[in-house]
A and B are shown apart, each in its own frame.
Chain A
Amino acid sequence: MIKITICIGSSCHLKGSRRVVEQLQKLIAENNVGDKVELGGTFCIGNCQQGVCVTVNDAFHSVTPETVEEFFAKEVLARV
């Protein structure tokens, strides 16, 4: 199981965490990996400057709505 946690604190929210969440949900559905990937939210991870902050099994990643597809392919799909 891969656990993706997205920061939904104020700063990341304003940088587009909702769009990141929506796209991840879409990508998970499209790739049919819903049973292998778990999506969750958390408040501030403490890296506001690098938001949107995302962790994959506790490893930190900086993601934007523009880079989310690339991130998903590299960090998630590759591990499934």
Chain B
Amino acid sequence: MRKFDTKVQHLKYKVLREVARLAWEDKLIENVIDIPKRLVPGKEPTMRCCVYKERAILGERVKLAMGGDQNNPNVIEVIDIACDECPVGGFEVTNACRGCLAHRCEDVCRFGAITFDHNHVAHIDKSKCKECGACARVCPYTAIVSRKRPCQNACKIKAISMNEEKAAKIDNSKCIQCGACVYQCPFGAISDKSYILNAIDILKKSEKNPHGGSYKVYAVVAPSISSQFSYAKLGQVVTGLKKLGFHDVIEAALGADMVAMAEAKELAEKGLLTSSCCPAFVRYIELNFPSLLKHVSHNLSPMAALAKYIKETTPGAKVIFIGPCTAKKSEAHLETVKPYLDAVLTFEELQALFDSRDLDIASLEEGVLDNASYFGRIFARSGGLTDAAVQAMKEQNIDFEIKPVVCDGIEACRMALLKLNKGVLDGNFIEGMACVGGCIGGAGCLTHGDKSKSDVDKYGREAFEKTIGDAISLLK
């Protein structure tokens, strides 16, 4: 069964797996330098110009797997030597242009950037072109293409540019760490830093280890896990986590239930609210709309809210969040969240962790995972948070007419925030999710696809508790 969407993810996974394997055995320091050669043996290159470049790049991947550049506060980093320096020409006319008579491209261009040579073949005047793409959309031969780098295309907030050597460069003052570029770069030249070594260290020293300490380690898993590890059952993933050394596995969706109740109350009080679950969305507001920060919900994210509860009820407990999100890695470093989280992993990294211990999760017995309600679980997809907020209003008998604006992806978030800033937003609650589709579109997912949403909804319906109130009544 296919584990990853792309070969780039597979490569990154292999590096993580090797690093993790050595770390479990306490042999990382002596052997770290041999990992690239172990993954690319022989003399025949399979990916790049020569095996030496392949190994050099793998060396950089090993560094990222071990936590990356400590001097760079961003959890997303560019591997300069892996960047293929893709063309950056913008819109160009290709030789598919047949020199037709209609000249739709010329008519649709509002900037007069299209001219024709004596063969009626179109040309784009770069000094006039605004890169709107209208010409490309109307050409009947699809002869006009965008030569934009996949990373720049993926980065809707325009945080990626080129450095002097034409390699991709991330502007840390703009980056929201959503990871869209990580998933889209076809050369795997942009990657998220991994905290897999921290996680292994925490697990090794826990009470489950004969020589370990006296604390328990809790895995808090995001509800989007229901669309992942499709080759096994969720209950088997839970058993796998316990075999890795986690004491218990708890749904972050229970934190979502807590947040839904609190956010509904806060919305009714303030009259206008933007959600605070998605760290990339919150960061986007901080960087671009500081005047709107007062509308951001003061509630912790579901991850942090649940982690806080665990730490308060179980003294000494360590909490590791496992989800689809690269931005959560940076959220865990915030002063307000730091006390509750000990490490953040992605589903990609969890797969590497399983395989570093040779755990074939599809062959394990099924454990159980059931803490949250339907509504907490559907937070994983766009629109779920809003459904939960509406339900939470109802359950708490709050008389408030919620007018939600569901923003699916950072571009939609941007539009809603622009309107809110101008005072013309038709709504009083913004659900902001930086990834298209919601968390199921996150960069740390093993697989992405149309089925993910129905997987989440199905998982939601399977919840033992049907109302938010019933799910969180246990917490008091």
Write the residues of chain A forming the contact surface with B, with a CB cutoff of 8 angstroms.
Answer: 6, 8-11, 13-14, 17-18, 21-22, 39-44, 46
* Contact yes or no, B475 A14, CB < 8 A: no
Q: Are A18 and B474 in contact (CB under 8 A)?
A: yes
Structural contact, A21 and B473, CB atoms closer than 8 A: yes
A14 to B367, CA, bound (A): 12
B248 within 8 A of A: yes
Q: With an 8 A cutoff between CB atoms, is B116 at the interface?
A: no
Q: Are A43 and B368 CB-contacts (below 8 A) given A6-B474, A18-B465? A: no
**Complex interface: chain A residues within 8 A of B368 (CB):** 10-11, 14
Beta-carbon contact of B476 and A41 below 8 Å: yes
Expressed in whole angstroms, the minimum distance between the Cβ of B89 and any Cβ of chain A is: 54
Mostly, the A contact residues are mixed
B: residues with CB less than 8 A from A are: 218, 238, 247-250, 310, 313-314, 367-371, 464-465, 470, 473-476
How far, in angstroms, from A11 to B248 measured CA to CA in the complex? 10
**Interface class of chain B by DSSP:** mixed
Q: Point out the residues of chain B lying under 8 angstroms from A17, CB to CB.
A: 474
Are B314 and A43 touching (Cβ within 8 A)?
A: yes
A13 touching B313, Cβ below 8 Å:
no
**Which single member of A6, A10, A18 contacts B369 (CB below 8 Å)?**
A10
CB-nearest residue of chain B to A40: B313
Q: List residues of chain A with CB within 8 A of the CB of B249.
A: 10
**Is A21 a contact partner of B248 (Cβ separation < 8 A)?**
no
CA distance A13 to B249 in the complex (A): 13
A6-B474, A46-B247 known; A13-B370 Cβ under 8 A: yes
Contact of A9 among B248, B473, B475 (CB under 8 A): B248
Provide the residues of chain A in CB contact with B475, threshold 8 Å: 8, 41
Cα–Cα, bound, A73→B99 (Å): 92
Measured in the bound complex, the distance between the Cα atoms of B238 and A21 in whole Å is: 25
Give the shortest distance, in Å, between A21 (CB) and chain B (any CB): 6
Could you tell me if B474 and A13 are in contact, using CB atoms closer than 8 angstroms?
yes
- Max chain B Cβ within 10 angstroms of own Cβ: one of A6, A18, A46: A18
CB-defined A-B contacts under 8 Å, sample of 28: A6-B474, A8-B371, A8-B475, A9-B248, A9-B250, A10-B249, A10-B368, A10-B370, A10-B371, A13-B464, A13-B474, A14-B368, A17-B474, A18-B465, A18-B470, A18-B473, A21-B473, A21-B474, A22-B473, A39-B476, A41-B474, A42-B313, A42-B314, A43-B250, A43-B310, A43-B313, A43-B314, A44-B247
Closest Cβ neighbor of B369 among chain A residues: A10
The answer for the CA separation of A6 and B313 in the assembled complex, in Å, is 11
> Inside 8 A of A46's CB, which chain B residues have their CB?
247
Asked, given contacts A10-B369, A18-B473, A22-B473, whether A43 binds B248 with beta carbons under 8 Å apart, the answer is yes
Q: How far is the CA of A23 from the CA of B316 in the complex (A)?
A: 30
Q: How far is the CB of B473 from chain A (nearest CB, A)?
A: 6
Closest chain B residue to A42 by CB distance?
B313
A9→B219 CA distance, assembly (Å): 12
Q: Which residues of B contact A18 (CB under 8 A)?
A: 465, 470, 473-474
Give min CB distance, A63 to chain B, whole Å. Answer: 14
Q: Give the shortest distance, in Å, between B476 (CB) and chain A (any CB).
A: 7
Known interface pairs A9-B250, A10-B249, A14-B370. Does A41 touch B465 (Cβ–Cβ under 8 Å)?
no
Q: How far is the CA of A46 from the CA of B206 in the complex (A)?
A: 15
Residue of A nearest to B367 (CB): A10
- A11-B368, A22-B473, A43-B310 given. 17 additional CB < 8 A pairs? A10-B249, A10-B250, A10-B368, A13-B464, A13-B474, A14-B464, A17-B474, A18-B474, A39-B476, A41-B475, A42-B313, A43-B218, A43-B248, A43-B313, A43-B314, A44-B247, A46-B247
Taking CB atoms, residues of chain B closer than 8 Å to A13 are: 370-371, 464, 474
Q: For residue B476, which residues in chain A have a CB less than 8 angstroms away from its CB?
A: 39, 41
CA distance A44 to B248 in the complex (A): 6
Cα-based distance from A8 to B369 in the complex (angstroms):
11
Q: Give the chain B neighbours of A10 by CB distance below 8 A.
A: 238, 248-250, 367-371
Most buried by B among A39, A43, A46: A43
Q: In the complex, which residues of chain A have a beta carbon less than 8 angstroms from the beta carbon of B369? A: 10
Measured CB to CB, the nearest residue on chain B to A22 is B473
Give A44 to B250 CA distance when docked, in angstroms.
9
Query: B residues within 8 A CB of A40?
Result: 313
Docked complex Cα distance between A41 and B471 (Å): 13
Expressed in whole angstroms, the minimum distance between the Cβ of B323 and any Cβ of chain A is 18
Give A14 to B251 CA distance when docked, in angstroms: 14
Q: How far is the CA of A22 from the CA of B465 in the complex (A)?
A: 14
Say how far B222's CB is from chain A's closest CB, in angstroms.
Answer: 16
A46 CB to closest chain B CB, in angstroms?
7
